[in-house]
């Protein structure tokens, strides 16, 4: 009764009466419910990734590079070691798109073969390092204690042996080929990932959902891989994207120093190394492999940065 | 935990790590096929060769050799170089290290100064294009391999423009190109770190408080934001210093600098066991000391780390 009076009073004060209102139609009742379409984590990340122009450009370049690396050697009339001594050090022309080197080999096709080597070394080593690093880091972070300390000290030691020593050792045992390069990069390459995952898992395992999962009887491996690792997927993906360029870097460096894959196979590093001797007379031969290395690594870094922002909402500006 | 106790514990771990590193390197090295007497001395009669091998103790088992080596190393005797006749390993290092360290120190200062400066500008710049330009430069800097950048500098500034001398280290002008070549990657890295770390600080309430109390922009940046953003920068500066002080193979061999960086690759390809060992131990020790120093400085700057 009193309520009714209050309401009338209020309405009167505003100069409104009950007649000024009407009931909502049934269909209009949802209009308060304003929400965007629900998205999964990766749909949301993809939407944000696409907004980043540099990252998108990087992705497009990388896809083109990958397709070119796979298909151009199949379609081209030249091969990476086919010499034409009448056409030495030719400048770029319609016949030889990027010109030829001192043995008359087509530089364009060699850059494409180089892409095969560099990209496979990059992606394969990132994949291996991803698996190893997540397993090792996850194990150490989850179980902690003395075992963790011993295992992490072991990692410190493996990490402090100069990479070059591993490289030489592997090369001498397995020969100078792409697999040796890959193996040498992976011996200590996974450690960064292991440290990252360990730190993530250590902080995440203190969260309530981990405890809840444990109380409900989930096994350790389920908690670790289905909960903790999945929840650190953002940093893991970002670290992986940064591993690809660093592997390509290492391969190029080794080839440049002269201990990578053996000639006449083409990698961007060996091509740069060969062009170094002719840098004053035919600088154009240096340009192509260098451009290939720099643009590829630049693209990968842009993609990594784009993913970093896209996968972690806190980092969006 | 007490600071001195903490430092002591870290040092102890450092010594254990170093010992393990020495052991691993030693046995890895012995697993590498090939002998230091395989090259130019291969024509030497068998008896003399046997004598040489005996003289250098290469006939003993690797474990025995390792024990002898460590005993001598603890007394400061790292043996003679197997490749350069009669040269003491300690002398080779004593000759090369100061050269490399001087260059490394220049590169380190350049990297820290430029990196923090560019990173700060990148974080505080009012204009969007300044920010974008710095981000782009920083990404470019980590995307160009050091050897290519060094080569680029040599061709453009050494040959075409002829501004700086190409090889050697005799005057201050000689230092410029190798220092820049060494520091370009680190500059880009520190720029990225500083920028992201500072941007994080900018969102904090104390920044707004300091500004609202009338503190000038520059003072806010230096006294508040930079100080708090320093931790990640210092954490990466430690290993960076160790790496730069031990030198780079590429830069030293391209610029013909008689330092220690070029020595390592040569010693590995020459199977100069004693030199490899000494260089690895030196490198490991540098990294370990740098890491300990980094942790101590971080604890001094940030009380939160001390409490853990």
Q: Which residue, among B13, B133, B137, B145, would best test binding to A if mutated, counting the most A CBs under 10 Å from its CB?
A: B145
Is the confidence at residue B194, as pLDDT, over 90?
no
CA atoms of A181 and A264, how far apart (whole Å): 16
CA atoms of A125 and A189, how far apart (whole Å): 8
CA atoms of B60 and B274, how far apart (whole Å): 15
Pick the closest to residue B272 from B260, B283, B263 (CA basis). Answer: B263
Residues of chain A in contact with residue B159, where contact means CB-CB under 8 angstroms, are: 280
Residues of chain B in contact with residue A150, where contact means CB-CB under 8 angstroms, are: none
Residue B88, phi then psi, degrees to nearest 5: -75, 140
Torsion of CA A284, A288, A293, A298, to 10 degrees: 90
Greatest mean pLDDT range, A128-137, B193-202, B227-236 = A128-137
CA distances from B111 to A178, B222, B244, B262, B287 (A): 34, 18, 10, 21, 18
Q: What is the b/e burial string over A96-109, where b = at least 16 CB atoms within 10 angstroms of the residue's CB?
A: bebbbbbebbbbbb
Q: Is-contact B294 B240, C-beta < 8 A?
A: no
- Computed on alpha carbons and rounded to an integer, the radius of gyration of chain B in Å comes to 24
* Res A132: pLDDT: 93
Residues of chain A in contact with residue B283, where contact means CB-CB under 8 angstroms, are: 160, 162
Is the confidence at residue B147, as pLDDT, over 50?
yes
Q: Looking at the partner chain, which of A156, A157, A164 has a beta carbon nearest the beta carbon of B265?
A: A164
Is the confidence at residue B71, as pLDDT, over 80?
yes
Q: Is-contact B172 B166, C-beta < 8 A?
A: no
Report pLDDT digits (tens) over A14-65: 667 777 787 777 777 776 666 667 777 788 888 888 888 888 888 999 999 8
- Find the closest chain A residue to B271 by CA distance: A168
Residues of chain B in contact with residue A162, where contact means CB-CB under 8 angstroms, are: 264, 280, 283
Residue B80, phi then psi, degrees to nearest 5: -105, 155
Nearest CA of chain A to the CA of B245: how many Å?
15
* Res A6: pLDDT: 60
Q: Looking at the partner chain, which of B33, B139, B151 has a beta carbon nearest the beta carbon of A276?
A: B151
Report pLDDT digits (tens) over A65-104: 888 888 877 777 676 666 666 666 666 766 666 777 766 6
Nearest CA of chain A to the CA of B33: how many Å?
7
Q: Is-contact A214 A142, C-beta < 8 A?
A: no
* Res A80: pLDDT: 67
Residues of chain B in contact with residue A298, where contact means CB-CB under 8 angstroms, are: 139-140, 143
A162 and B283 within 8 Å at the Cβ level: the answer is yes
B21 and A157 within 8 Å at the Cβ level: the answer is yes
Q: Which residues are B134's β-sheet partners?
A: none
B143 and A245 within 8 Å at the Cβ level: the answer is yes
Average pLDDT over residues B173-194: 85
Greatest mean pLDDT range, A94-103, A197-206, B223-232 = A197-206
* Span of A8-22, A225-239, B127-141, B162-176 with lowest mean pLDDT: A8-22
Average pLDDT over residues A113-132: 89
B143 and A301 within 8 Å at the Cβ level: the answer is yes
- Find the closest chain A residue to B20 by CA distance: A157
* Res A301: pLDDT: 86
Q: Is-contact B226 B198, C-beta < 8 A?
A: yes
Residues of chain A in contact with residue B268, where contact means CB-CB under 8 angstroms, are: 164-165, 168
Greatest mean pLDDT range, A104-108, A125-129, A206-210 = A125-129
A162 and B145 within 8 Å at the Cβ level: the answer is no
Average pLDDT over residues B41-63: 73
Q: Is-contact B247 B104, C-beta < 8 A?
A: yes
Is the confidence at residue A5, as pLDDT, over 70?
no
* Res B41: pLDDT: 56
B139 and A272 within 8 Å at the Cβ level: the answer is no
Is the confidence at residue A118, as pLDDT, over 80?
yes
CA atoms of B80 and A109, how far apart (whole Å): 48
* Res A32: pLDDT: 66
Average pLDDT over residues B127-148: 84
* Res A90: pLDDT: 65
CA atoms of A164 and B29, how far apart (whole Å): 12
Largest Cα span, chain B = 86
**Count of beta carbons in the 10 Å neighbourhood of residue A227:** 20
Residues of chain A in contact with residue B162, where contact means CB-CB under 8 angstroms, are: none
Q: Looking at the partner chain, which of A172, A259, A294 has a beta carbon nearest the beta carbon of B143?
A: A294
């Amino acid at each position: 009764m009193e309520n009714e009076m209050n309401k009338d009073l209020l309405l009167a004060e505003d100069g409104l009466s009950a007649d000024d209102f009407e009931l909502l139609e049934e269909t209009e009742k949802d209009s308060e419910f304003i929400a965007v379409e629900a998205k999964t984590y990766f749909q949301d990340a993809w939407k944000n990734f696409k907004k980043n122009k540099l990252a998108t450009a990087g992705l497009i370049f990388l896809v083109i590079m990958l397709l070119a690396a796979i298909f151009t050697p199949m379609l081209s009339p030249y091969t990476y070691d086919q010499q034409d001594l009448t056409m030495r050090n030719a400048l770029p022309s319609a016949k030889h798109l990027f010109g030829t080197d001192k043995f008359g080999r087509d530089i364009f096709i060699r850059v494409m073969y180089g892409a095969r080597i560099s990209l496979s070394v990059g992606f394969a080593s990132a994949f291996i390092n991803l698996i190893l690093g997540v397993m090792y880091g996850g194990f150490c972070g989850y179980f902690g204690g003395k075992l963790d300390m011993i295992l992490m000290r072991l990692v410190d030691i493996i990490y402090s042996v100069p990479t070059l020593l591993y490289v030489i050792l592997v090369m001498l045992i397995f020969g100078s080929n792409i697999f040796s390069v890959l193996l040498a990069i992976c011996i200590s390459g996974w450690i960064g990932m292991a440290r990252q995952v360990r730190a993530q898992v250590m902080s995440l395992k203190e969260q309530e959902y981990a405890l809840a999962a444990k109380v409900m009887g989930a096994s350790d491996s389920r908690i670790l891989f289905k909960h903790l690792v999945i929840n650190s997927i953002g940093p893991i993906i970002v670290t992986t994207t940064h591993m690809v360029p660093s592997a390509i870097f290492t391969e190029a460096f080794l080839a440049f120093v002269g201990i990578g894959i053996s000639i006449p196979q083409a990698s961007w590093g060996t091509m740069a190394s060969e062009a170094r001797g002719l840098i004053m007379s035919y600088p154009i031969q240096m340009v192509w492999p260098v451009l290939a290395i720099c643009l590829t690594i630049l693209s990968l870094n842009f993609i990594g940065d784009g993913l970093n922002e896209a996968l972690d909402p806190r980092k969006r500006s | 935990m007490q600071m001195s106790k903490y430092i002591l514990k870290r040092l102890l771990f450092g010594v254990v790590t170093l010992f393990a590193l020495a052991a691993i390197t030693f046995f890895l090295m012995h697993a590498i096929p090939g002998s230091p007497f395989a090259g130019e001395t291969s024509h030497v009669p068998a008896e003399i060769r046997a004598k040489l091998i005996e003289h250098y103790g290469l006939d003993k088992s690797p474990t025995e050799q390792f024990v002898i080596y460590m005993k001598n190393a603890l007394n400061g005797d790292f043996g003679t170089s197997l490749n350069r006749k009669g040269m003491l390993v300690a002398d080779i290092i004593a000759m090369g290290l100061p050269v490399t360290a001087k260059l490394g120190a220049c590169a380190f200062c350049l990297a820290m100064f430029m990196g923090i400066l560019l990173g700060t500008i990148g974080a505080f710049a009012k204009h969007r294009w300044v920010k974008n330009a710095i981000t782009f430069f920083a990404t470019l800097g980590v995307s160009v391999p050091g050897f290519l950048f060094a080569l680029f500098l040599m061709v453009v500034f050494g040959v075409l423009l002829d501004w700086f001398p190409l090889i050697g280290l005799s005057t201050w002008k000689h230092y410029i190109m190798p220092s820049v070549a060494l520091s370009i990657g680190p500059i880009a890295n520190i720029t990225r770190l500083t920028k992201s770390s500072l941007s994080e600080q900018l969102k904090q309430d104390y920044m707004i408080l300091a500004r609202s109390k009338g503190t000038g922009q520059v003072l806010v940046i230096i006294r508040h934001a930079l100080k708090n953003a320093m931790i990640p920068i210092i954490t990466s500066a430690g290993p960076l210093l160790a790496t730069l002080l031990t030198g780079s193979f590429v830069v030293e061999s391209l610029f013909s600098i008689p330092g220690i960086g070029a020595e390592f690759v040569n010693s590995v390809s020459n199977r100069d066991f004693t030199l490899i060992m000494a260089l690895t131990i030196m490198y490991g020790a540098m990294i370990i000391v740098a890491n300990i120093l980094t942790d101590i400085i971080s604890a001094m700057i940030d009380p939160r780390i001390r409490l853990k």
